Structure 1
Amino acid sequence: MSTITFRVSEEEKEFLEKISEFENVSLSDFVRQQAIKAAEDLVDYQTYRELMEEHKKKDESISHEQMMKELGL
């Protein structure tokens, strides 16, 4: 397993320790989980932006009324 080291202030360290205790996980597990979650969120957001750009180029959206009419409702 690899090790990543980063610097934080004493206040930040204390804060992270308190939150990890609250979450009932080690500081290492807490920081790892949050870093991975943040990275996944960034990938999801980038994917969303790319798909929205594609959608804007070929927008096939219809109104609610049009959908109801097509469904015969």
Structure 2
Amino acid sequence: MSQSTITFRIPDEEKELVAEYAKAHNSSLTELYRNAVLDKIEDEIDLNTLRKAMKDSKIKKEVGISQDEMEKLLDEV
């Protein structure tokens, strides 16, 4: 798999904070930044999927059920 390099600038005090965080979590700066960006993208995709599902549910006039009702249904299975 090919790789690319991304360079960006941050204030020195932020770099120190991030470097200490990475060190405390036994991670490299590269891993930390990559995971943070990918997690952010995944969260946004998940949120958009949820919003779409809620919109579709409203259009279909679907009705939700309580946790207790769901547990009763699952007990019947």
Report TM bin, short chain: 0.7 to 0.9
Which residue does 1:26 correspond to in 2?
28
Distance 2:34 2:65 in 1: 44
Distance 1:38 1:63 in 2: 31
Q: 1:41 aligns with which of 37, 43, 46?
A: 43
Q: 1:60 aligns with which of 48, 59, 62?
A: 62
Give the SS at the match of 2:13.
helix
Which residue does 1:51 correspond to in 2?
53
Q: Which runs of 4+ in 1 moved over 4 A?
A: none
Q: Give TM-score scaled by structure 2 length.
A: 0.75
- For structure 1, the 5+ residue unaligned runs are none
How many equivalent pairs are there? 68
> Displacement of 1:63 after TM fit?
4.9
Q: Give TM-score scaled by structure 1 length.
A: 0.79
Distance 1:6 1:59 in 2: 47
- For structure 2, the 5+ residue unaligned runs are none
1:24 is aligned with what amino acid?
N
